[in-house]
Amino acid sequence: MIGTADALRRTRAVYALVGLAALTGGILGCSSDDDHVTNPAGVVTAVRDQSFDFTGLRTFAMPDTVIQFVPKTGTPLVVPRTYDHVALNEVRQNLIARGYKEVADPKTTRPDFVVLVGTSATTNYDVYATYPWYGYWGYYGGWGWYAPGFTSDWTLIYPWYPTVGVTSYDRGTLVVTIIPTLKVNPLSSPPSISATWAGVASALLNGTITSTSVANAVDQMFQLSPYLVAPTSAASRVQY
């Protein structure tokens, strides 16, 4: 299994992709700190909220399911689930390799952040648009740390969306999202939680898929994000 500290040391070429806006619907509008790489499956992107201080993150929780984002209308283009466990395990191993600790019981112990893993079951999926997340993730028992409780009224906000605009991806695009548990706003209308980081592998689960291609794409998301390291941990000594 890829995802150890040794795997994280490996580097891949980063390309200044001419015409990337046509592939990702304008992702070049992000800050220059956000990077992209290519692999056989497509483009891998990592985007962050640059106003957020990642050094305060130490612990995490993660639902055990890769959610499939379906279209608002029409028939979903179902994505094979054969490699869901590979994606989930690879995300978890990358986080652990960087010094983050997984909370055993997030029902009672608040983690510093929650990690959501999903894939698009539709074409032209606008990956950073605000959406009512509870319908997808409400099944997860690990939201108990928020005492008032979440409901279907709550939305998920990607704060960089006003900058990048519509960012469309094809079916089978893998999306990994980090949501700090302190960025919960019950007073907004509607109430919201906010992402601070997202890794996207375009059309990863569409076409020829292998465990290696899925694992490599997840690894690339983290390689593009050297700031995702738990403070004062052994992982902070990893060389990139």
Fold of the 5-230 domain: Double Stranded RNA Binding Domain (3.30.160)
- Does residue 209 surpass a pLDDT of 60? yes
Name the pLDDT band for 73 (thresholds 50, 70, 90): confident
Whole-prediction pTM: 0.82
pLDDT at 74: 86
d(CA 15, CA 177): 23
Torsion angle in degrees (nearest 10) through CA of 186, 148, 72, 159: 30
- Does residue 232 surpass a pLDDT of 70? yes
Q: In this predicted model, what pLDDT tens digit does every residue of 134-149 receive, in sequence order?
A: 999 999 999 999 999 9
Q: In this predicted model, what pLDDT tens digit does every residue of 35-48 receive, in sequence order?
A: 555 444 579 999 99
Name the pLDDT band for 72 (thresholds 50, 70, 90): confident
pLDDT at 224: 96
Q: In this predicted model, what pLDDT tens digit does every residue of 1-19 receive, in sequence order?
A: 334 333 333 333 222 222 2
Average pLDDT, the chain: 83
Contact between residue 171 and residue 120 where contact means Cβ atoms under 8 Å apart: yes
